[in-house]
Chains A and B, each alone.
Chain A
Amino acid sequence: MPHDDEQPRAGLSRRGLLGLAAGGGAALALAGGGIGYALGAPRRDADDEDRHAFFGEHQAGITTEVQEHLHFAAFDMMPRSDRRDLIELLQDWSYAASRLTQGLEVSASGATGGGPESPPDDTGEAMGLHAANLTITFGFGPTPFANEDGDRYGIGDRRPAKLERLPAFLGDDLDPAQSGGDLCIQVCADDPQVAVHAIRNLSRIAFGRAKLRWSQLGFGKTSRTSAEQQTPRNLFGFKDGTANILADDRDALDAHVWAGDDDPDWMAGGSYLVARKIAMLIETWDRVRLGEQERIFGRDKAEGAPLSGGTEMTPPKLAGLDVHSHVRLAHPDSNDGVRILRRGFNYVGGNNALGRLDAGLFFLSYQRDPAQFIALQKRLSTDLLVEYIRHVGSGVWAVPPGATSGSYVGAALFA
């Protein structure tokens, strides 16, 4: 079928890692058993229960029941890249993601089926592992829409007005090497090896077109998106995010999470992702007496019940909480009803030079407008918690809708 560089293309780009393996036009010789690999099997007998569809109205990994592990990565396009590179990268990434999320290897020849003379397409460390509820979610930062060369990707006029670098907040201590990025990939799975395998293979596919800017591993979800899930604890030892937007709350999702009529058409069914790497001053916090810790959060530490009374799920009576407690300041009633869908993870990256744990919360939230996060974050400037945290990384991305079968994430942006 005819190809037009400006149009979404069927199949793989020839320039990607997968192009050659696909053998579109390459003559494969039969002699001598040089090609001896087994029919592209799943890495392990598939189990429908731990797989999420990649194609669909929305990208998976937003309302999907929060998994146990995270590998988040931000990429910058290479300076030499052009519109075609960006489109082909998204096509190759989408195809790879459509396989990996089903528990398949990154291409049909996979980790061991490509013959002895070429490096395997798949890096192999996920062989034998389930899909583990893997989700792979892609986003566009503000920078590809306007860069130093002007409009290199020909999408400048399609930048959503909402997609702008976040403003400075009180207490920011941001490291540019852990902030921003032209593109992002949020990978979540119940098995950390499956998550790392995905980012590793997607990074490899990107070589020459995009380069890794920064990445973050996370463990121990700090939010829930379904009523069946327990509210997890953060590294301060508290339940947070009790009042998160849940996957079955369609009205709340439409009102607060999915992009609206004021967005460009290509964002219909999409959302906006904010990531904040929030370092916790663990050692200092651990010396705070229990009563003070509970006052700061506004919750009891054992059950997670609001200090205003009741059990964990009892709505807090804000007047009964310290005026600067975290729960009170973050509550929708203190913010004109503003809500966000939180999806954060704990992280520990070893320790720093002072012998302190490099630990904290990798905060992720989805909202229909980054302004929702901005409003909440401004409100939290007087949060009692501020003394114990530092925001060290930041980013905002437009997360387009899910891809239709055989197409790619972000296709409508280039249509």
Chain B
Amino acid sequence: MTHASRTLSVLALGAIAATALSGCVAKQSTDPAASFTVSSTDSACDVSTGTATSGTLTFEVTNAGDQVTEFYLLAEDGLRIVGEVENIAPAASRTLTVVAQPGDYYTVCKPGMIGDGVGKAAFTVTGDKVAVDGPDAEQKQRAVDLYAAFVKDQVGALVPDVAELVSAYTAGEDERARELFPLARASYERIEPVAEALGDLDPRIDYREVDAVAEGLEWTGFHRIEKDLWQPASDALNSDGETPAWQDWAPSTPEERGEYGDLLTADVQELFDYVHSEEFTTVLADQGIAGISNGAVALLDEVATGKISGEEDWWSHTDLYDFAANVEGSKMAFSLVQELAASKGADGQDLVDEIATGYADLESALAQHGSLQDGFVPFTDLTDGDRRELIDLINALAEPLSQLTATTLS
């Protein structure tokens, strides 16, 4: 599969996902929420009633005191917080919504934000236990299935791309191999967390020389090939900035190229077999929806720690290809859970909007330096200002993204 068509397949899958998910945004159809009013003063915390029936409860908290206040619903031990609203300014109101199970609770206000609070009172919930998943479950399963399909699609593209790269590399067609190298990595970079979870597979496929040396492993994989293709100058240093590039290293002989090529081919095939195995399906199912959104975060962390420093592709300087692929993979994972997150009230929708804006801003900043289709400038062409712009946008995206899992699971 050529590089361009692979990217299209990502986008197409994204569209499928969005369509599929929007088709099943079954809003939880519960009874209208029971409403209570709370008046918080400097010495009292008056709740309109002390009993309720299990289900969705809404507390409209009004601050009738002079200090900023907080309202808590506590569990029967009087310590564990079941729900809270904070930063309620004098004369202002805020709403707390909880799904309450039958049991004994306490309500308490905390004017001035300090101390044990005032007006602590018993609050009793009667009735039947409330199911809190249900309508979501099907939607979650669909997202997990789509993510599995996405991973398989990417690894499916990786196998022939690597074959093409290895073929050029072993044949000594270095110029061709240099063109293929950054593109062959892209589908791997989109799903990197999946391979990283496998223990020894990622080290064999994607370790840099300094990592392999530090762990006493034989150095194989993409970056071994990279160093052969972009042979360092005689006085160059490795990415640790210290060891000479030619220390304990020499360009691979044709025979060695054959061996390294075969190893990478075999390792990629092993990854392919794994993602098509029962084991992989089980792992994804166990992780559930959290595995997907945490994967979105992990890919952005890859960018923030490895790619932005230019240490990943030390000899080829093709880090921006990896960067773009990491972002694409992260965005894909996000797209699978965004409908679910957006269904979690106004805060969920706001979070999704902010994350979507974050991806858009990061993509347009990255587009100033090229694209996967047309190629990126070498990482070394970026100025400090360019890198600063990218890292600021990564921070802007990663903070809200880090809230995605909790919101999706709520």
Residues of A in contact with B (beta carbons under 8 Å apart): 1, 10-12, 14-15, 17-31, 33, 35-40, 42, 46, 78, 80, 95, 98-99, 102, 104, 107-109, 113-115, 117-119, 204, 207-209, 211, 405-407
B90: interface (CB < 8 Å): yes
Question: Does the CB pair B402–A119 fall under 8 Å?
Answer: yes
- Tell me the complex Cα distance, A27–B117, Å: 23
B241: shortest Cβ distance to chain A, in Å?
16
Question: Does the CB pair B98–A1 fall under 8 Å?
Answer: no
CB-CB contacts of B89-103 with A at 8 A, as 1s and 0s? 111111111111101
Q: What would be 16 A-B contacts, judged by CB atoms less than 8 Å apart? A: A11-B87, A12-B87, A26-B410, A27-B410, A28-B82, A28-B83, A33-B80, A37-B80, A39-B116, A78-B392, A113-B81, A115-B406, A117-B405, A207-B395, A211-B395, A406-B88
- Tell me the complex Cα distance, A242–B409, Å: 59
Residues on A with C-beta less than 8 A from B116 are 39
Question: Does the CB pair B98–A27 fall under 8 Å?
Answer: yes
- Tell me the complex Cα distance, A271–B12, Å: 57
With known contacts A27-B56, A115-B406, A405–B361 Cβ distance under 8 A: no
- Tell me the complex Cα distance, A19–B94, Å: 12
A213: shortest Cβ distance to chain B, in Å?
10
A26: shortest Cβ distance to chain B, in Å?
5
Question: Does the CB pair B95–A25 fall under 8 Å?
Answer: yes
By the criterion of a CB under 8 Å from any partner CB, how many residues of chain B are at the interface? 66
Question: Does the CB pair B79–A118 fall under 8 Å?
Answer: no
8 A-B pairs with the lowest CB-CB distances in the bound complex, closest first: A406-B89, A118-B406, A208-B396, A10-B92, A10-B89, A117-B406, A29-B132, A108-B86
Question: Does the CB pair A27–B86 fall under 8 Å?
Answer: no
Question: Does the CB pair B347–A24 fall under 8 Å?
Answer: yes
A202: shortest Cβ distance to chain B, in Å?
13
Question: Does the CB pair A405–B410 fall under 8 Å?
Answer: no
Residues on A with C-beta less than 8 A from B399 are 17, 204, 207-208
Residues on B with C-beta less than 8 A from A407 are 89
B407: interface (CB < 8 Å): yes
CB-CB contacts of B40-82 with A at 8 A, as 1s and 0s? 0000000000000000100000010011101010100011111
A169: shortest Cβ distance to chain B, in Å?
27
Interface set, chain B 84-139, CB cutoff 8 A to A = 84-101, 103, 108, 110, 113-117, 132
Question: Does the CB pair A117–B89 fall under 8 Å?
Answer: no
Residues on A with C-beta less than 8 A from B78 are 39
With known contacts A26-B348, A35-B82, A118-B403, A98–B68 Cβ distance under 8 A: yes
Residues on A with C-beta less than 8 A from B347 are 14, 19-20, 23-26
Given contacts A24-B96, A211-B392, 18 further A-B contacts (CB under 8 A): A12-B87, A20-B347, A20-B406, A23-B83, A26-B344, A26-B347, A30-B82, A35-B80, A37-B80, A39-B74, A39-B116, A42-B114, A78-B396, A104-B114, A107-B86, A114-B406, A204-B399, A207-B396
